[in-house]
Chains A and B, each alone.
Chain A
Amino acid sequence: MDFRLTEDETALRDAVAEFATEKVAPVIGDYYERGEFPYDLVAELGRMGIFGAPFAEKYDGAGGDYFMLCLALEELAKVDSSVAITVEAAVSLGAMPVYRFGTDAQKERWLPRLCRGEALAAFGLTEPGGGSDAGATRTKAVLDGDEWVINGAKCFITNAGTDITEFVTVTAVTGTGADGRPEISSIIVPNGTPGFTVGQKYSKVGWCASDTRELFFDDCRVPAENLLGERGRGYAQFLRILDEGRIAIAALATGLAQGCVDESVRYAGEREAFGRPIGTNQAIQFMIADMEVRAHTSRLAYYDAAARMRAEQPFKRYASVAKLHASNAAVDNARAATQVFGGYGFMNETPVARMWRDTKILEIGEGTSEIQRMLIARDLGVG
């Protein structure tokens, strides 16, 4: 057993790594500072087929798999997380629900442009009243003739308000199930539908070049056929989507953790204090060695979860392990890397400063660290 990459996987990783250092690194600091969405980088990643990585060629996908997406995310996040999360959310939250649960007509209508990176889609689960308890959705959708009428609000939704966002898949209560619990369904709501308002961009601590919005639905009407998959399957659908998404977030976190190592190794050799490179101090060496251990074990954890998913084995627990471990590693490494950089580490122009700001969300988004622990314990049969 081993985790060596295939020729294709290596070539993809190298191409994305080249793109990240040549195209993303020189410009992303400015986008970040201005809080602007990097449309040109998204377009180029679209041409490279990254947005279509795990999707079939008949929808203009690349015919690869989810692990390839993860490799691309890791390479992007070594340099920058805003672009990486834009891709992650676009593929795994935007397009994947349609790919997995959509009708042929929905797939043919929406997927090709998403796969080519010409359009983005978002997934609206979290509400102002709660994210972890996603089953407690308050947004409602009522079938009125051949239309759904949606009322409610969603918050913190990635990619929901860019110029190229075409739709948001939202979860809503559509009735009461046989067991007396709320019946949740997913509905595709195209941007621009009357009654659907996208809020202003949030001012965020990190991921500043990524698009995050609040969404409002006020008697918003969409055709009945915009229901995604079966009515009442919304809860099961997003659990599946989030399980996979955790592997992707783990890959992104691994990239950030590795980026901190790479930057620190370079700086420790260049920066001098007391007449010698700071890297000659054991204190710095050990800090960097520990960072490498965390980055490497994060990578092994997400490779393993992705391998189980690819083999169609149960992978839920391992996706949570990978997400929990890698997001921890990212936070720890960003803290250590900014320490290695000293005062420069506190300056926004230094890449590790951006990584420090981008890292905290990794312990929150797509299931907080507490939720990951709950899921792991539950899967172990505890409690």
Chain B
Amino acid sequence: MKIVVLVKQVPDSGLERHLSSDFTVDRASASNVISELDENAIEAAMALADAGQADEVTVLTVGPDHAVETIRKALSMGPDKAVHVQDDAIAGSCAVTTSAVLAAALGTLEYDLVLCATESTDGAVGGMAQMLGARLGVAAMTGARKLTVDGQKLTVERQTEDGHETLTASTPAVVSVWDSMNTPRYPSLKGIMAAKRKPVTTLSLSDLGLAPDTVGAAGATSKVVQAEPRPPRSAGQRITDEGEGGVALAEYLASQKFV
């Protein structure tokens, strides 16, 4: 089985992040890292490779020049090669146009399974797997906490607010994962040293047959027109125990579906 893992470079969510004056993510001044959940997607792919169920794992990234750092990091975890779609005209893309670029890039690759994160840690739109499924005409199983492969049959435990549901599909398919699926491996020293030698193919829009005005800021289907900082945390709700404290606590937790 051939797997393609989608990987995105994002500003480090542990540090201060900013928007540029046009309300796109300021990637130039940020400290950029691999979107955290993408590591779970890579781990899922590598676990299948380790189990002998995948014979090729490719990393696919759409991003500026410096996204190659993230590609190296991803490759150090074990994948065999990478494809980097890089074109200045892509800057300012919305999720929908990005999915068009990814779908076109996937069209140039062989795959049985496309793995990605359920959402990125920057935009957190959470719709990529669905859009790719639609564009590629294959099943999209989203929000997976477990994935098993049996020949051409994929079984996914989809995490929901109340528990999980089981979905099946046959390959080829797109599966998006949550961090509950696995614990990503740390890159090994061998993996780090091998990453430099692994092939990275760079593709431009013209390689993909896409017109520049269909993507990027020009083709975007949505545009951020205003942004405000997150309001400060509210004080929270205080329960004073006058004999009924436990009940009040339990009721609160139940109302929030924690119990």
B258 in contact (CB, < 8 A): no
Using an 8 Å CB-CB cutoff, how does the interface string of A23-63 with B read, 1 for contact, 0 for none? 00000000000000000000010011110110001000011
Say yes or no: A52 contacts B186, CB within 8 Å: no
How far does the alpha carbon of A11 sit from the alpha carbon of B190 in the complex, in Å?
11
A223 in contact (CB, < 8 A): no
The 8 Å CB contact of A64, one of B72, B185, B186, B193, is: B193
The 8 Å CB contact of A47, one of B185, B192, B193, is: B185
Say yes or no: B193 contacts A19, CB within 8 Å: no
Say yes or no: B188 contacts A7, CB within 8 Å: no
- Which of B72, B73, B190, B195 gathers most chain A CB within 10 Å? B190
Nearest-neighbour CB distance to chain A for B160, whole angstroms, equals 28
Chain A residues with Cβ below 8 Å from B187 are: 11, 15, 48
Chain A residues with Cβ below 8 Å from B51 are: none
B235 in contact (CB, < 8 A): no
How far does the alpha carbon of A213 sit from the alpha carbon of B87 in the complex, in Å?
61
A18 in contact (CB, < 8 A): yes
- Contact A48-B189, Cβ < 8 Å, known A11-B72, A11-B76: yes
Using an 8 Å CB-CB cutoff, how does the interface string of B183-226 with A read, 1 for contact, 0 for none? 00111111111011000000000000000000000000000000
- Which of B190, B191, B192, B193 gathers most chain A CB within 10 Å? B192
Chain A residues with Cβ below 8 Å from B188 are: 47-49, 62
Chain B residues with Cβ below 8 Å from A19 are: 186
Sort chain A's interface into a size bin.
Answer: 10 to 19
Nearest-neighbour CB distance to chain A for B7, whole angstroms, equals 16
Say yes or no: B189 contacts A18, CB within 8 Å: no
- Among residues of A, the one whose C-beta sits closest to the C-beta of B192 is A11
A8 in contact (CB, < 8 A): yes
A300 in contact (CB, < 8 A): no
How far does the alpha carbon of A19 sit from the alpha carbon of B195 in the complex, in Å?
19
Say yes or no: A12 contacts B189, CB within 8 Å: yes
Chain B residues with Cβ below 8 Å from A48 are: 186-189
Say yes or no: A52 contacts B189, CB within 8 Å: yes
How far does the alpha carbon of A48 sit from the alpha carbon of B76 in the complex, in Å?
11
Nearest-neighbour CB distance to chain A for B6, whole angstroms, equals 22
Chain A residues with Cβ below 8 Å from B185 are: 47
Say yes or no: A53 contacts B196, CB within 8 Å: no
Chain B residues with Cβ below 8 Å from A322 are: none
How far does the alpha carbon of A57 sit from the alpha carbon of B194 in the complex, in Å?
12
How far does the alpha carbon of A188 sit from the alpha carbon of B196 in the complex, in Å?
38
How far does the alpha carbon of A213 sit from the alpha carbon of B72 in the complex, in Å?
42
- Among residues of B, the one whose C-beta sits closest to the C-beta of A60 is B190
Chain B residues with Cβ below 8 Å from A57 are: 190
How far does the alpha carbon of A19 sit from the alpha carbon of B187 in the complex, in Å?
10
Say yes or no: A44 contacts B186, CB within 8 Å: yes
Say yes or no: A11 contacts B186, CB within 8 Å: no
Say yes or no: A50 contacts B189, CB within 8 Å: yes
Chain B residues with Cβ below 8 Å from A63 are: 190, 193
How far does the alpha carbon of A11 sit from the alpha carbon of B193 in the complex, in Å?
9
Chain B residues with Cβ below 8 Å from A18 are: 186
How far does the alpha carbon of A64 sit from the alpha carbon of B191 in the complex, in Å?
11
Nearest-neighbour CB distance to chain A for B76, whole angstroms, equals 6
A249 in contact (CB, < 8 A): no
Chain B residues with Cβ below 8 Å from A62 are: 188-190, 193
- Residues B33-82 near A (CB distance < 8 A): 72-73, 76
How far does the alpha carbon of A169 sit from the alpha carbon of B87 in the complex, in Å?
58
- Which of A47, A49, A52, A64 gathers most chain B CB within 10 Å? A49
Chain B residues with Cβ below 8 Å from A11 are: 72-73, 76, 187, 192, 195
How far does the alpha carbon of A48 sit from the alpha carbon of B192 in the complex, in Å?
10
Using an 8 Å CB-CB cutoff, how does the interface string of A221-235 with B read, 1 for contact, 0 for none? 000000000000000
The 8 Å CB contact of B196, one of A8, A12, A15, is: A8
Say yes or no: B189 contacts A7, CB within 8 Å: no
Nearest-neighbour CB distance to chain A for B59, whole angstroms, equals 16
Chain B residues with Cβ below 8 Å from A329 are: none
Say yes or no: B192 contacts A8, CB within 8 Å: yes
Say yes or no: A49 contacts B196, CB within 8 Å: no
Chain B residues with Cβ below 8 Å from A64 are: 189, 193
- Among residues of B, the one whose C-beta sits closest to the C-beta of A47 is B188
A330 in contact (CB, < 8 A): no
How far does the alpha carbon of A19 sit from the alpha carbon of B185 in the complex, in Å?
10
A68 in contact (CB, < 8 A): yes
Nearest-neighbour CB distance to chain A for B31, whole angstroms, equals 12
Using an 8 Å CB-CB cutoff, how does the interface string of B76-118 with A read, 1 for contact, 0 for none? 1000000000000000000000000000000000000000000
- Among residues of A, the one whose C-beta sits closest to the C-beta of B185 is A47
- Among residues of A, the one whose C-beta sits closest to the C-beta of B195 is A11
Say yes or no: A12 contacts B190, CB within 8 Å: no
Chain A residues with Cβ below 8 Å from B190 are: 49, 52, 57, 62-63
Chain A residues with Cβ below 8 Å from B191 are: 49
How far does the alpha carbon of A62 sit from the alpha carbon of B76 in the complex, in Å?
13
How far does the alpha carbon of A52 sit from the alpha carbon of B76 in the complex, in Å?
16
Chain B residues with Cβ below 8 Å from A68 are: 189
- Residues B170-189 near A (CB distance < 8 A): 185-189
- Among residues of A, the one whose C-beta sits closest to the C-beta of B76 is A11
Say yes or no: A15 contacts B192, CB within 8 Å: yes
How far does the alpha carbon of A19 sit from the alpha carbon of B196 in the complex, in Å?
22
Chain A residues with Cβ below 8 Å from B76 are: 11, 15
A–B Cβ pairs within 8 angstroms, 15 of them: A7-B72, A8-B192, A11-B72, A11-B76, A11-B187, A12-B192, A15-B76, A48-B188, A49-B190, A52-B189, A52-B190, A53-B189, A57-B190, A62-B189, A63-B193
- Of all A-B residue pairs in the complex, the 4 with the closest CB atoms, nearest first, are A49-B189, A62-B189, A49-B188, A11-B192
Q: A15-B189, A48-B186 are in contact. List 12 more A-B contacts (CB 8 A).
A: A8-B192, A11-B187, A12-B192, A15-B76, A49-B188, A49-B191, A53-B189, A62-B188, A62-B189, A63-B193, A64-B189, A64-B193
